[in-house]
C-alpha cells in the first residue's frame, strides 16, 4: 500500500548505507546532558559518574549478512556477539553486557536456536560479558539477529573517530583481507556442492581465512595491550567494511588527510596465495574486503617507541593535513586517491 | 541445510515465547559486578555510580507485530519507540536514550523510511530522549525494527517485578483492552477493503481505540506522578501482552497470589460498546488483549491515601499469600483461576 500512495520513490540503493543513515538521522537533536557522543562513531558515549557508558547495536540478516548453507549456527551466534564487541573495543572501552534479540521463522526448530545460543554463550564466557536481555519473536521468513553491546571506559580514555592529528601514525592490528577471501572460498565450495553434492572439498589450505570469516575475534586483547603499553590512540575505528572505507571515516571525522603505504599493509600468506589462486589483487582485497574486525587507529609519534616492533601493531601510514587528501602510496611509489568501495549491505542486494 | 543435519526437531510453537526465552537463556552466567538485574524483568539493571542504568530491547517484525496495510509508517516509528520506553518506565526509571536498527527490503523507497523516522523523531522529542545509534541494513523481505532503550534511576527507586508483598494493592493505570479492540476494527476494515476497495469506512466512533492501537503512549507521566505523590511501587510491569499474563509474571516473580476484581477493571466506554458490537466479552479482552502499554503495579496499603481517587490509578485487586493462588473474582463473586492466554508472537504464527 505504501507503493501506491507515495508519488516520489527514491530507491534505497541510490544512497548506500552511510548516506542513508546520515539522511535519516540528521533531524535527531540531543537533549540529554548524559549524551556525550551520539550517532556517527562506533558506539554512542553516555556520561555516568566517573565512567562513561558506550552502547553499540548491529543487525544481522539472513541472506544479507550470512548464508546458513555454510555458516554453522554456533559460529553465527559467536560472530553476532563479536561484531558488536568490536565496536565497543573501538572506543577503547571494556565490553560488559549485551542484549540479544532474535526474529526467527518457524522453519527453524528449537535445536537450531540452541546451537545459535551455544555460540552466544561461548562468546560471552570467553569475553567476560553478561547477556542481560533481549527479545525472541517469530519472523515471516529467515533469521534476524539484533545485538546491542554495552561497555564502560574511564572519561579520559574514550577514543573517538575524530581525534587524529597531522603527523600521527596510522596503525592497524593483526592482518586484513582474510575474512573476505574466506568468504570467496566458501562461496566457491557452495557452487561446487550445488553441481556435485558428493564432492568432499579439501579446505585444509584455507583454514585460517575460513576461520577469519566464520569465527572472527574482536580485539579485546588490543585494548588490554594498549593499556599495558600506556598508549591512548588519538582516534580509532574497527574494520568491518574494509580498510579504505574505515580510513576515510577516520580522516573525514578528524578533518585530516593520510598517506597509506601499500607495502606496509599486513597480509597473511594464506590471503596472498588465495588471492593468486583467485586471480585477484591482494591490495584491492585488503582495501575493500570487510569483516576482519581488526582495529584501525592513529597514534601520536611520541608513542612510537612504545608500539615499535610489537607484532600486533603495524604502522601502515601517516596522517597529513586535510588539504593533502587521502592517498595510497603504491609499491611503485605512485600516489593514488583512496576511494571507498567498502562492503555495503544495501548495494549488495539486488 | 539445518533441516537435514539435525535429527531432532522441536517446533518453536511447542514452547511459546516466554518458555523459549527461558530455555535459551538459562545457561547465561552473570560475571560483571555492574549487572544488578539481568534477563527476566522489563529491563536489565546495571550499576554505575549513584544511579543505575536500565536497558531494554524489542524487535518489531512486519507481518508479525504490524501490518502495513493499515499501520501508517509514521505511527509505526512512534510505536516502536513507545514499546521500549514503556519497559524503561516499568522499572520506575527515566528514559534517556534509544538506539534504532532497521532491516528493510528494497520494496521500500527512501520516502517510506523518512516517514518511519518522522515518527521516531516525534517520539524522541515528545519524550525527551536522544536517538544515539543504530544500524540500517537491507532485508530479503519486509521490515524489521529493533529498538534498545536506555534509562536511569536512583538506586533506591528502581522497581522490579519481584517486590510484591501480601496485602499490597494491585493497581493499573489508564484503561485497558482498547488497543486490542482497535486492532479488531482495523482488521475488519481491511477485509471490507479487500472485497470493496471503494468503501469509505466511517471510523469516527472508534477513534479512541484505533489510536490506542496505532499510537500508544508510554506512561512517562505516571513515573512523574509517582514521584510527585512520593509513592514507590513494590513491583511493576508494563502491560504489553494482556493483564492476565502480566499479573502472572508479577505474582510468580514475587512469589505471591492475587485476587483481581472483575468489576474494578477500568474499561473505556468505546471498548465496552465495540465488544458488544463484536459480541466479545469485554473482561476477556481486558485480560487477554495486549499492547495497551499501561503500567501494572503493586503498592503498599500504607500508600493508599496518596493514590486514592487519582483518575490515573485504579486499584483492581489485592496481593495474597502464594498458596492462595491467582484468581479473578467475577461480578457474580465467583473465583476463577487466572490463566495466561496473552498475545504470543510465536503462537500467532502458523
Q: What is the mean pLDDT of residues B205-217?
A: 95
For A204, other C-beta atoms within 10 Å of its C-beta total 7
Question: What domains can you pick out in chain A, each with its CATH number?
Answer: 32-157 (3.30.1330.10), 169-348 (3.90.650.10)
Out of A64, A96, A104, closest to residue B34 by CB: A96
DSSP 3-state of B7:
coil
In the prediction, which pLDDT does A27 show? 64
C-alpha cell recorded at residue A65: 549478512
- Three-state SS for chain A is CHHHHCCCCCEHHHCCHHHHHHHHHCCCCCCCCCEEECCCCCCEEEEECCEEEEEEEEEEEECCCECCCCCCHHHHHHHHHHHHHHHHHCCCCEEEEEEEEEEECCCCEHHHHHHHHHHHHHHHHHHCCEEEEEEEEECCCCEEEEEEEEEEEEHHHCCCCCCCCCCCEEEEECCCCHHHHHHHHHHHHHHHHHHCCCCCCCCHHHHHHHHHHHCCCCCHHHHHHHHHHCCCCCEEEECCCCHHHHHHHHHHHHCEEEEEEHHHCCCCHHHHHHHHHHCCCHHHHHHHCCCCCCEEEEECHHHHHHHCCCCCEEEEEEEEEHHHCEEEECCCCCEEECCCCCCCHHHHCC
Query: What is residue B20's predicted lDDT score, i.e. its pLDDT?
Result: 67
Quote the pLDDT of residue A249.
92
Cα A315 to the chain's mean position, in Å?
A: 19
Indicate whether A201 pLDDT > 90. no
Is the model more confident about B34 or about A269? Answer: A269
- 8-state DSSP, B143: E
**More confident site: B165 or B136:** B165
pLDDT in the model for residue B228: 97
Question: Partners of B149 in the beta sheet?
Answer: B56, B98
CB contacts of B34 in chain A (<8 Å) are 96-97, 152
Using DSSP's 3-state secondary structure scheme, residue B31 falls into: coil
Nearest CA in chain A to B49: A49
> What's the CA gap between A56 and A152, in Å, rounded?
12
Banded pLDDT at B21 (limits 50, 70, 90): low
Phi first, then psi: give them for residue A84, nearest 5 degrees: -80, -40
**pLDDT for A127:** 94
H/E element, B183:
helix B178-195
Chain A contact present for B240, CB below 8 A = no
Q: How confident is the model at residue A114 (pLDDT cuts 50, 70, 90)?
A: confident
- Residue in B34, B64, B69 nearest the CB of A139: B64
Q: What is the pLDDT of residues B3-12, one digit of tens each?
A: 444 456 777 7
User: Which ipTM value was assigned to this complex?
Assistant: 0.82
Degrees (nearest 5) of the Cα angle A210, A214, A217?
Answer: 105
What share of chain A in percent tops pLDDT 90? 59
Structure confidence at residue A258 (pLDDT): 98
Identify the pLDDT of residue B323: 97
CB-based contact (8 Å) between B193 and chain A?
no
Share of chain A above pLDDT 70, in %: 89
% of chain B exceeding 70 in pLDDT: 90
What is the C-alpha separation between B97 and B133, in angstroms, rounded? Answer: 9
pLDDT of residue B49: 74
Report whether pLDDT(A3) > 50.
no
Instruction: Residue A217: name the closest of A94, A126, A344, A99 by CA.
Output: A126
Mind telling me how many Å the CA of A286 is from chain B's nearest CA?
Answer: 23
Chain B, 56-85: which have a CB under 8 Å from a chain A CB?
56-59, 61-65, 68-69, 73
Asked if residue B75 belongs to a known ligand binding site, the reply is no
C-alpha cell at B149: 532503550
Q: Does A197 touch chain B (CB under 8 A)?
A: no
Stretch B96-119: mean pLDDT: 88
Range with top average pLDDT, A331-340, B25-34, B163-172 = B163-172
User: What does the block give as the cell for A340?
Assistant: 571507498
Q: Which of A106, A110, A144 sits opposite B144 (nearest CB)?
A: A144
Phi/psi at B330 (nearest 5 deg)? -75, 170
pLDDT greater than 50 at residue B349: no
Is the model more confident about B39 or about A331?
A: A331
Which pLDDT does position A20 carry in this prediction? 67
Interface of B with A in 274-303 (CB under 8 A): none
Reported in sequence order, the residue ranges of chain B that DSSP labels E, i.e. its strands, are 35-37, 44-48, 51-61, 94-104, 130-138, 143-154, 169-173, 235-238, 256-261, 295-299, 313-321, 326-329, 335-337
pLDDT tops 90 at residue A330: yes
When pLDDT is cut at 50, 70 and 90, the band that residue B47 belongs to is confident
Chain A contacts in chain B segment 85-124 (CB below 8 A): 96-97, 99, 101-104, 106-114, 117, 121, 124
Residue-averaged pLDDT of chain A: 88
Among A9-13, A23-27, B280-284, the range scoring the smallest mean pLDDT is A23-27
Per-residue pLDDT tens digits for B292-311: 999 999 999 999 999 999 99
Q: Grade residue B198 by pLDDT with cuts at 50, 70 and 90.
A: confident
Closest partner residue to A44 (CB to CB) among B25, B132, B348 is: B132
Tell me whether residue A141 is annotated as binding.
no
Weakest mean pLDDT among A45-49, A117-121, A286-290, B2-6: B2-6
Is the confidence at residue A4, as pLDDT, over 50? no
pLDDT of residue B348: 39
**pLDDT tops 50 at residue B313:** yes
Task: Tell whether the model's pLDDT for residue B287 goes beyond 90.
Answer: yes
If you average pLDDT over residues B327-341, what whole number do you get?
90
Please give the order of strands across the beta sheet that includes B169-173.
Answer: B235-238, B295-299, B169-173, B313-321, B256-261, B326-329, B335-337
Closest C-alpha among A244, A246, A210, A277 to residue A90: A246
CB pairs under 8 A between A and B: 310
Condensed to tens digits (0 to 9), the pLDDT of residues A40-95 reads 677 777 777 778 888 888 899 998 889 988 889 999 999 999 999 999 999 999 99
Which residues in chain A have their CB less than 8 angstroms from residue B27's CB? Answer: 117, 121
Give the whole-angstrom CA distance, residue A263 versus residue A9.
45
Q: Does residue A134 have a known ligand-binding role?
A: yes
**pLDDT score of A22 more than 80:** no
Asked whether residue B32 carries a pLDDT value surpassing 80, the answer given is no
Amino acid at each position: 500500500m505504501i507503493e501506491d500512495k507515495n508519488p516520489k520513490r527514491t530507491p534505497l540503493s541510490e544512497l548506500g548505507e552511510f548516506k542513508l543513515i546520515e539522511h535519516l538521522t540528521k533531524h535527531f537533536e540531543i537533549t540529554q546532558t548524559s549524551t556525550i557522543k551520539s550517532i556517527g562513531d562506533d558506539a554512542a558515549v553516555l556520561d555516568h559518574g566517573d565512567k562513561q557508558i558506550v552502547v553499540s547495536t548491529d543487525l544481522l540478516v539472513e541472506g544479507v549478512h550470512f548464508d546458513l548453507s555454510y555458516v554453522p549456527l554456533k559460529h553465527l551466534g559467536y560472530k553476532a556477539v563479536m561484531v558488536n564487541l568490536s565496536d565497543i573495543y573501538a572506543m577503547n572501552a571494556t565490553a560488559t553486557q549485551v542484549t540479544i534479540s532474535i526474529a526467527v521463522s518457524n522453519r527453524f526448530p528449537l535445536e537450531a536456536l540452541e546451537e545459535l545460543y551455544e555460540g552466544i554463550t561461548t562468546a560471552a564466557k570467553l569475553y567476560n560479558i553478561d547477556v542481560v536481555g533481549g527479545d525472541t519473536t517469530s519472523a515471516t521468513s529467515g533469521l534476524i539477529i539484533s545485538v546491542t553491546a554495552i561497555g564502560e571506559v574511564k572519561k579520559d580514555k574514550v577514543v573517538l573517530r575524530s581525534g587524529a592529528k597531522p603527523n600521527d601514525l596510522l596503525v592497524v592490528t593483526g592482518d586484513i583481507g582474510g575474512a573476505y577471501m574466506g568468504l570467496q572460498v566458501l562461496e566457491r565450495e557452495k557452487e561446487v556442492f550445488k553441481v556435485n553434492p558428493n564432492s568432499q572439498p579439501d579446505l585444509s589450505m584455507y583454514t585460517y581465512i575460513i576461520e577469519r570469516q566464520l569465527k572472527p575475534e574482536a580485539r579485546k586483547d588490543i585494548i588490554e595491550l594498549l593499556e599495558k603499553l600506556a598508549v591512548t590512540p588519538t582516534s580509532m575505528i574497527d574494520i568491518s567494511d574494509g580498510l579504505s572505507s574505515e580510513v576515510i571515516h577516520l580522516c573525514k571525522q578528524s578533518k585530516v588527510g593520510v598517506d597509506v603505504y601499500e607495502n606496509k599493509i599486513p597480509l597473511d600468506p594464506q590471503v596472498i596465495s588465495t588471492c593468486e589462486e583467485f586471480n585477484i589483487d591482494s591490495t584491492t582485497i585488503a582495501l575493500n574486503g570487510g569483516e576482519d574486525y581488526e582495529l584501525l587507529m592513529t597514534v601520536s609519534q611520541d608513542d612510537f617507541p612504545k608500539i615499535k616492533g610489537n607484532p600486533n601493531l603495524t604502522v601502515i601510514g601517516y596522517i597529513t593535513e586535510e588539504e593533502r587528501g587521502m592517498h595510497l602510496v603504491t609499491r611503485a611509489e605512485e600516489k593514488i586517491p583512496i576511494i571507498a568501495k567498502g562492503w555495503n549491505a544495501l548495494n549488495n542486494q539486488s
